[in-house]
A and B are shown apart, each in its own frame.
Chain A
Amino acid sequence: MTWAVEFSAVSRHYGKVKAVDKVSLQIEQGEFFSMLGPSGSGKTTCLRLMAGFEQPDLGAVRLSGINAVGLPPYQRDVNTVFQDYALFPHLKVWENVAYGLKIRGMGRGDRMARAEEALAMVALDGYGDRKPAALSGGQRQRVALARALVNRPKVLLLDEPLGALDLKLREQMQSELKRLHRQLGITFVYVTHDQGEALSMSDRVAVFNRGRIEQLDTPQQLYTQPQTPFVARFVGGANVIAAPLAERLTGEARPFALRPEHVHLVHDWQSQPLQVEGVLRQVHYHGAYSRLELDLGKEQTLAVQLPHGEGETVTLPEPGTRLTCGWSRQAMVPLREDGQEDGQGGAP
């Protein structure tokens, strides 16, 4: 089968900075594929390599099996939804949506009909005669979506499209995007720095760090079976138990991921298979649970999620208290020692 998008050892350098460093990936036809990572991790550059705004310094980019190196954006069967929407301010909403059709020489009547159809798809029918400036941020976002989708591209590229929207609108657009993806069967490639967004929407997620893919997996696998310390922290907000402590506890000298909800406070009358002692630094009350941050010494921190059961009076320990925590051996997920520790603190 041919992949919708295929990267083979693609690199893109800016001077000495390796924005994208030997990235290989294959995206299936019709897949919802996310590229997740912090800013500067190379995910947007990868998207721009697919769109044709950037050309690789090394490696091969294939779109539907066709070598796309040297192919300008206007000859690619992909369309992009830009982070800042990039609507043409001098054109009306329907003219914006019909821009791609006009370029391809479609007649005015057909263009108007197709534009109205695409606007209806994003629930903006009747807005065609307005100027983009007269729309709200969320509406502009949907016009940008309609403008890309009206061309029925093989691949739709979305560059942090929901970044500028407020939380409620973002959640609404997430489900709308999922609906459109199911309805149209187009391959979606979605760039985001929001792990929740990536996990909830995607079939597969590529986690980027420093120009490389750290892990490419389904959302469930990423969450439950992270492979590197970076993925464990960035995707799941998990604790990373560094190799020295892990060796003392398990005999294996490698880092482990440990989810905060799998750690329990140990009281005198109980014991857990694996136990540590630490000083409580911070307490965050979240309603359904509280999050405790412990300092275990030697730069090792530990986040603990403390559930609050029904009818329970919550008495939280004071910062500075010494606490004992424990967890089961199965809760520890072995990680690859990749030598790319980025020195980020514990779980956020």
Chain B
Amino acid sequence: MSAAPLAPAPTGLTAWQRLGRWLYLHPTALLWLCLILPLLWFAGLYLGSLLSLLWQSVFTFDDFTMTVLPDLTLDNYRQLFTPGNLDIVIRTVTMALVVSVADALLAFPIALYMALYASPRIKACFYIGVMLPMWASYIVKAYAWTAILAKDGLLQWILSHLGLEPALLWLLQTPIGGNTLATSHLGRFLVFSYIWLPFMILPIQAALERIPPSLLQAASDLGAKPRQVLTTVLLPLALPGVMAGSIFTFCLTLGDYIIPTLVGPSGLFIGTMVYTQQGAVGNMPLAAAFTLVPLLLIAIYLWFAKRLGAFDAL
């Protein structure tokens, strides 16, 4: 850069060409020029809005006048720990965990097949198959499921023809059941697992795709049986993908309010609670405090994952 002033001033150039040369000699200036707008957006709107949300969570909500007062308080966070609200958090987190585990179990074999065994043609079919439902409207899919799961709905009809109706009725009597599938925790779990499945398949598939085939051959060459290749090479190397996928499924379940509204028993989720607090009640501070819950949970989750070595392969 210090050589720039010593260079002979280019003569006979248009202003544009001079600007071009100046920028070529000052790459940092060019970098800032290209980055300043996206960076402003990122810092100001993307992160700033989150910070302002968190800031609101320490405001006071006056129950009597139903207005928000700018008096700082930790009351909203204290409220999270009242039995009713704690219930909501536990209910949501349990669902998020179960959905993440179920999706990981469903997604891994599919991702493994796509990444290591499928021909390019079949792989393309799988890509489309995985993503096609993602492109369809999410609310329509959730509604469709209410019809599938309804009393005497499609699922029950199929099960009754397979002679499995007693099993369904027995399941509905368990704590995860309800009057019908559509109003049971089980039903809600099915819909969540269905909707978020692509978000689990794609990152796992991407992680497995990066494994060179020679690595699997090397393991086998060194004496590992197929099961040992799976546990010592494939799973550890797929783990970052599983983590990425589970962060999607976990966060999306924690924040969702449409599926808990449409499917499953009454009883609020974090998403529906936030919606109620800010929409119907206008208690923005408590809603903001609730949004901190997923943030914290994910941070703890990532910290544990890192401690367990989930990102060692990256």
Contacts and interface: CB of A to CB of B under 8 A. Distances in A.
B223 interface: yes
B313 interface: yes
A215 B121 CA distance: 41
Interface in B34-50: none
Contacts of A113: none
Contact of A74 (B215, B220, B237): B220
Interface of B is mostly: helix
Contacts of B163: none
B223 A88 contact: no
Contacts, number: 62
A187 to B, nearest CB: 16
Contacts of A324: none
A103 B233 CA distance: 12
Nearest to A77: B223
A87 B309 CA distance: 18
A89 B237 contact: yes
A100 B223 contact: yes
A80 B218 contact: yes
Highest count of chain A CB atoms <10 Å: which of B219, B220, B223, B224: B223
B221 A51 contact: yes
Nearest to B240: A90
B212 A74 contact: no
B52 interface: no
B219 to A, nearest CB: 7
B116 to A, nearest CB: 14
Interface in A109-162: 147-148, 151
A53 B217 contact: yes
Given A53-B217, A73-B217, A82-B214, A90 B223 contact: no
Highest count of chain A CB atoms <10 Å: which of B214, B222, B309: B222
B220 A73 contact: yes
A72 interface: yes
B168 to A, nearest CB: 43
A188 interface: no
Interface string B210-252: 0010110111111111001000110011000000000000000
A86 B215 contact: yes
B152 interface: no
Contacts of A148: 222
Given A82-B214, A84-B214, A103-B228, A90 B221 contact: no
A104 interface: yes
A99 interface: yes
Interface in B81-133: none
Given A86-B212, A86-B214, A86-B215, A80 B221 contact: yes
Contact of B233 (A52, A83, A88): A88
A72 B218 CA distance: 13
A74 B233 CA distance: 15
A79 interface: yes
Nearest to B217: A53
Contacts of B233: 88
Interface size band for A = 20 to 34
A343 B217 CA distance: 36
A86 B224 CA distance: 15
A78 B220 CA distance: 11
Contacts of B236: 90
Contact of A84 (B212, B220, B309): B212
B313 A82 contact: no
A89 B178 CA distance: 48
Nearest to B218: A86
A86 B217 contact: yes
A74 B223 CA distance: 4
Contact of B222 (A72, A84, A89, A103): A103
A71 B225 CA distance: 12
A82 B218 contact: yes
A188 B222 CA distance: 16
B215 A88 contact: yes
A36 B215 CA distance: 25
Contacts of B223: 74, 100, 103-104, 151
Contacts of A151: 222-223
Nearest to B239: A90
A76 to B, nearest CB: 8
A52 B218 CA distance: 11
Contacts of B312: 90
Contacts of B214: 82-84, 86
Interface in A54-78: 72-74, 78
22 contacts: A52-B220, A53-B220, A53-B221, A73-B217, A74-B220, A74-B224, A78-B221, A79-B222, A82-B218, A84-B212, A84-B214, A86-B214, A86-B217, A87-B218, A88-B215, A88-B218, A90-B237, A99-B224, A103-B223, A147-B222, A148-B222, A151-B223
Interface of B: 212, 214-215, 217-225, 228, 232-233, 236-237, 309, 312-313
Given A74-B221, A90-B237, A100-B223, 7 more contacts: A72-B220, A73-B217, A80-B217, A83-B214, A86-B218, A99-B219, A147-B222
Interface of A: 51-53, 72-74, 78-80, 82-84, 86-90, 99-100, 103-104, 147-148, 151
